[in-house]
Structure 1
Amino acid sequence: MCGIVAAVGSRNIVPLLIDGLKKLEYRGYDSTGIGYLSADGRVVAERSLERVAQLEAQINEKHIEAMVGIAHTRWATHGAPALRNAHPMVSNSQGVSLCLVHNGIIENHDEIRTELAVAGYVFTSDTDTEVMTHLIHQHCVQGLDLYEAVYQTTKRLKGLYAIAVMRADEPHHIIGARHGAPLLIGVGERGNYLASDTSALLSETRKVIYLEEGDVVEIALDSYRIRSIAGDFVERDVHVSELSADAVSLGLFSHYMQKETFEQPEVVANTLEMVSGAQSISPLLFGAQADEVFQSTQNILILACGTSYHAAMVARYWIEEIAQIPVNVEIASEYRYRTSVPMANTLIITLSQSGETADTIAALQHAKSLHNGLGATTLSICNVPESALIRQSQLRFLTRAGPEIGVASTKAFTTQLCALFVLTLVLAKVKSRLSVSQENDYLQQLRHLPVAMAQVLLLEPQIVEWAKAFVDKEHALFLGRGIHWPIAMEGALKLKEITYIHAESYAAGELKHGPLALVDERMPVIAIAPNDVLIEKLKSNLQEVRARSGELYIFADRDTFIEPAEGVHVINLPDHAGMLSPILHTLPLQLLSYHTAVARGTDVDKPRNLAKSVTVE
């Protein structure tokens, strides 16, 4: 959530800050702003409740230029979306003028607010961020320079934060700090930068330094220095990002969600590259110790949120059927708030696109504490190599989805599924539950998967026609059975996220236990009908819908013998893909949601009230 860009440059950096904010729009926001040093040496904040383009127009109208600045997109937590709550926050009194931008949540802000109010500070916003701003200001008034003031302030803070701060009478540098929320340094030839995300800086540099927990950093025009949580000045490795500016551009597509949906055959091929080109599958894909760990694994616990949770539910079917290891799937945001029973030799798996999901990180930490001494091992499946989740896990598998800009996840989900299927095969092989012929068959299916996905995407014109029927709908019901039930859940989530149509999903066998009461001619029912052992059971469930005048929209495999009829609309997918069928059936559900959103005129890539990288609870 939220986005930070900051720069100290040798020329006007305002266009760079605006460009960086545009690259971070995918993270979700409801206000935006820039802080800069004016020509007369004051800290000034320019804010907007509109899109970044509107902020840009405001700045251009005022002909604002600066060589040092901080910028922000805010997703409201403390305080409603309002100009008084938009960042940067400014503290300007007693000869000290500074401003600050912040991602995250400060849990002890009330306590500090009370102290500062007694000291005479007046609060003009409802945010926890203003508390930090005034606390840093107080340290500066007491004689500390900005770097030391920020460092001392971080010792008081409880919660999650990434911040960038600038001070009028120290005009040539910016201070940043991080704890639990991502922040990195961009090392450039014409200056140095801070950002929440590498994509914000690609137009300027691909050299980045990922800050570690508790780091406080100072950037200047031609230098930077990093102080660790222990107070020592340290060196951090410089990484050259593999991302390119083209990777985060729309190209010929109308929206990022559409672009990312159609990138899925390619990114799945990239994710499976080391598998599909091999003659056999190896535990080394997950780390040097994976073979030994998997040999001793007796139970699996998967922690995830949102779309990643649906991927985890699919994985439970795969792992229990093929590897025959019991799997427990937990919603990360709920897991650590209930009493659970730890089990010996548990493999704790976390899933996250960004690797910075606060609930998932907290759940991982809780699981590690709970399973301490019981032979547990942690494995993270993630799309970001230097993310917090990866750094906190013993084993890892990096998906290669590339940057995902659209808030509604598409390619991150399917690459997670691929990684989980590979894990299933490795576990089964290590446990001697996968024969050589089965391994060869599954590898062949994985090699064919990108081609099969591309064939499914060719169904887009038919799905566009279906979307027209959903434009005026307010409710929808998604049905699936067995391993496809989580895919129905994911389809309902996508429709909710970007079209604002209320959608629910059910295991089709549960229709008669309540949901059937909702079915009438006004509620479309979307069904996933793979040609598997449950197809006849599903057909009976669909007859229950038609008997109540429900309008059916069925994504069916060939040879299921489901024919179009009055009130029954059918799109046939390619032949059944066996265990990989859930991945193929995901694609048409994504396209249906996308084209329905386009037809309804909603903001596809930046749906209301949502954020891409959920770095707060």
Structure 2
Amino acid sequence: MCGIVGIVGRQDAAPLLVEGLRRLEYRGYDSAGIATLVEGRIERRRAEGKLVNLENLLKVQPLGGSTGIGHTRWATHGVPTERNAHPHATARVAVVHNGIIENFQELKAELTAAGQVFESDTDTEAVAQLIDYLLIQGFDPVEATDRALARLQGAFALGIIFAGRPEMMIAARQGSPLAIGYGDGEMYLGSDALALAPLTRRISYLDDGDRAVITATSASVCDRDGHPVEREVRQTNLSGALIGKGQHRHFMLKEIFEQPEVIGGTLKTMLNPAERTITLPYLPFDLAGIGRVRIIACGTSYYAAMVAKYWIEQLARVPVEVDIASEFRYRSPPLEQGGLAIFISQSGETADTLAALRHCRANGQHCLALVNVPESTIAREADGVLETLAGPEIGVASTKAFTTQLTVLACLAVALGRARGALDRAAEAEVCRALAEVPSRVADVLRDDSAIRAIAPSIAEARDVLYLGRGTGYPIALEGALKLKEVSYIHAEAYAAGELKHGPIALIDDSVPVIVICPSDHLYDKTASNVQEVVARGGRVIFLSDRHGIARLSAKVAATIELPEVASFVAPLLYAIPVQMLAYHVAVAKGTDVDQPRNLAKSVTVE
């Protein structure tokens, strides 16, 4: 969600801070600001709304100084105004913060009684005021910070600078991710490596409880007990050129069109097309001994997990439970020793999913991370990692991350089925053949979106939209409804098609478009019957199927979107594409902010 960037350097910090914040825009935000040390004084510039507003302010009121911190804020405590924007500062200290300080009210009351004057409605200001109070008491910056950290409850990533101390910055992490970048005579701080990519590829990640004192040439890290520790410096593969839109109007569209490449790249890490076999990266546990699987995720990743439930139960004959991460721990589920728990997160930093992983590890589960960021916290804390090679996904609405998650989960289902003896060699070869064709079939879908563009204006006028699907088409219907809500702000709901008669059919009239996911598989006839029921009640059906499926119902429906004929197992990968494209074109027709929809954050790093 919120983004942090910091610099202790030799050149003007402000332009570099703004560039770092621009690379963090994809995380979602509603205000932005920077603070630098100018002749030893803390100077700030903050603005409500998009980063361009901060840039315009800096043109009128420029900032010097080679040490500084910056922030993009996604409002939690306090409305998104300049007053509540980060950095929060006193005359002695400035702070940027991701996360939530749970005991800020208690701290605020205590500090107000002690004479500290608060200027915002945020939880973060309590951190700045607490450190300021301790500085007034005579503690040096490191001592004041350590004493303040000991008082904080909740999740936080902090970047802190001090008046009169341009040679240093302090960083601390508890729950929220934070990375340190190593440069040539300069050091950097960022919420993730992408923010620092134009500046350096040498990155280290702080662990929970770490506090670091950063100078222009080094970072001294202590753990939660105050013991000095070394954190590995890694070479990241991220490039400063990775966030361009290319020839596309929006990041979301660019990322939709990247799917043939990234699905193919992800497949290559596991699929041998000549032998038609799947080989997973090394896992520190035996798949043959897995008797139960639990998949835990949020949002779009949760829908990928729902598809995987069908796949794993079908191919491996292993029972699968799928949990929403934010609900999982609170129902205290029984966990059998030695079960497999899979955690899906694009960022690898999703707070609820990370908390669920820690709960499962404490209860004897094999923990497998499925992430797009191999250096992320979830990846580092899991027993094993399966990586999606989607590359940086900038659009808030997930597209290529979703389909690469499905790709990895499909390969995992095959590997699990083979390991347990539920899938014979011939069946594995057949599934692998179908998977090998997916990148080219996805390219076929993307080659001509004229039918989708033609439908979009009428959908844009709707107040409500329904999505229907059966089997693995049901999670794709859920994902389609979510995408439409996210980027166009149209209310959309998805139902398993068989549930139509159990209530949702009451919503059908000629003003409600009904989008139906219906490949020609063993469930086609059942879903076709539901389509007839919708049509009989005046419903306007947009029908997604292959040539044979459309031929049987085209006379009945309002519009069709034709997809290639593929094996039913891989159909979810293909049918995800048109629901993404439809949401995109509807959002463009409505004129919404496609890449940064209101109220949304790319990475949800607080509960």
TM-score when normalising by structure 2? 0.97
**What is the CA-CA distance between 1:280 and the residue it aligns to?**
5.9
2:436 corresponds, among 440, 443, 447, to 447
Is the CA contact (8 Å cut-off) linking 2:543 and 2:559 kept in structure 1? yes
Is it true that 1:366 corresponds to 2:355 in the alignment? no
2:448 corresponds, among 456, 459, 482, to 459
Q: How does 1:210-609 map to 2 (within 5 A)?
A: 210-277=205-272, 279=275, 281=277, 284-287=280-283, 289-290=284-285, 292=286, 294-369=287-362, 371-372=363-364, 376-560=365-549, 561-565=551-555, 567-609=557-599
Is the CA contact (8 Å cut-off) linking 2:186 and 2:216 kept in structure 1? yes
Is it true that 1:11 corresponds to 2:6 in the alignment? no
Is it true that 1:116 corresponds to 2:111 in the alignment? yes
List per-residue Cα deviations over 1:127-157 (Å, max 9, x = no partner): 1101111111122222222223222222222
Give the letter for the 1:72 counterpart: H
Is the CA contact (8 Å cut-off) linking 1:487 and 1:586 kept in structure 2? yes
Q: Which residue of 1 aligns with 2:601?
A: 611
SS at match of 2:331: coil
- The whole-number CA distance in structure 1 between the counterparts of 2:290 and 2:109 is 50
- The whole-number CA distance in structure 1 between the counterparts of 2:22 and 2:216 is 23
**What is the CA-CA distance between 1:579 and the residue it aligns to?**
0.3
**What is the CA-CA distance between 1:190 and the residue it aligns to?**
4.7
Q: Which residue of 2 aligns with 1:183?
A: 178
Gaps of 5+ in 2: none
SS at match of 1:172: coil
Q: Which residue of 1 aligns with 2:148?
A: 153
- The whole-number CA distance in structure 2 between the counterparts of 1:450 and 1:149 is 55
**What is the CA-CA distance between 1:284 and the residue it aligns to?**
4.9
Give the letter for the 1:285 counterpart: P
Is the CA contact (8 Å cut-off) linking 2:272 and 2:278 kept in structure 1? no
List per-residue Cα deviations over 1:177-221 (Å, max 9, x = no partner): 111111101111251110002111222111111111111112222
Give the letter for the 1:559 counterpart: H
Is the CA contact (8 Å cut-off) linking 1:562 and 1:570 kept in structure 2? no
RMSD after superposition: 1.5
Q: Which residue of 1 aligns with 2:44?
A: 45
SS at match of 1:226: strand
SS at match of 2:111: helix
- The whole-number CA distance in structure 2 between the counterparts of 1:4 and 1:228 is 21
Give the letter for the 1:86 counterpart: A
**What is the CA-CA distance between 1:608 and the residue it aligns to?**
0.3
**What is the CA-CA distance between 1:170 and the residue it aligns to?**
1.3
- The whole-number CA distance in structure 2 between the counterparts of 1:485 and 1:566 is 22
- The whole-number CA distance in structure 2 between the counterparts of 1:546 and 1:137 is 67
- The whole-number CA distance in structure 2 between the counterparts of 1:76 and 1:105 is 10
**What is the CA-CA distance between 1:247 and the residue it aligns to?**
1.7
Higher alpha-carbon deviation: 269-278 or 158-167 = 269-278
TM-score when normalising by structure 1? 0.96
- The whole-number CA distance in structure 1 between the counterparts of 2:272 and 2:312 is 23
- The whole-number CA distance in structure 2 between the counterparts of 1:238 and 1:137 is 32
1:207 corresponds, among 202, 222, 227, to 202
Q: Which residue of 2 aligns with 1:2?
A: 2
SS at match of 1:421: helix
List per-residue Cα deviations over 1:437-474 (Å, max 9, x = no partner): 11112222222111111111123122111112112111
Q: Which residue of 2 aligns with 1:132?
A: 127
- The whole-number CA distance in structure 1 between the counterparts of 2:276 and 2:226 is 48
Is the CA contact (8 Å cut-off) linking 2:470 and 2:523 kept in structure 1? yes
Distance 1:280 1:530, change over 3 A: closer
SS at match of 1:244: coil
- The whole-number CA distance in structure 1 between the counterparts of 2:460 and 2:279 is 47
**What is the CA-CA distance between 1:283 and the residue it aligns to?**
5.9
**How many residue pairs get matched?**
605
Is it true that 1:162 corresponds to 2:152 in the alignment? no
Q: Which residue of 1 aligns with 2:29?
A: 29
List per-residue Cα deviations over 1:82-118 (Å, max 9, x = no partner): 22211111123xxxx1110000011122222222122
- The whole-number CA distance in structure 2 between the counterparts of 1:244 and 1:577 is 37
- The whole-number CA distance in structure 2 between the counterparts of 1:368 and 1:220 is 36
Is the CA contact (8 Å cut-off) linking 2:456 and 2:585 kept in structure 1? yes
List per-residue Cα deviations over 1:53-81 (Å, max 9, x = no partner): 11011011123222111000000111111
**Identity across matched positions, percent:** 47
- The whole-number CA distance in structure 2 between the counterparts of 1:344 and 1:281 is 30
**What is the CA-CA distance between 1:240 and the residue it aligns to?**
1.4
- The whole-number CA distance in structure 2 between the counterparts of 1:325 and 1:345 is 14
- The whole-number CA distance in structure 1 between the counterparts of 2:310 and 2:160 is 48
- The whole-number CA distance in structure 2 between the counterparts of 1:533 and 1:581 is 12
- The whole-number CA distance in structure 2 between the counterparts of 1:63 and 1:438 is 65
Is the CA contact (8 Å cut-off) linking 1:459 and 1:588 kept in structure 2? no
**What is the CA-CA distance between 1:401 and the residue it aligns to?**
0.6
List per-residue Cα deviations over 1:381-420 (Å, max 9, x = no partner): 0111111111121121111111011000001111111111
- The whole-number CA distance in structure 1 between the counterparts of 2:205 and 2:264 is 28
- The whole-number CA distance in structure 1 between the counterparts of 2:562 and 2:476 is 17
SS at match of 1:86: coil
- The whole-number CA distance in structure 2 between the counterparts of 1:339 and 1:230 is 30
Distance 1:190 1:558, change over 3 A: farther
Gaps of 5+ in 1: none
SS at match of 2:166: strand
Q: Which residue of 2 aligns with 1:90?
A: 89
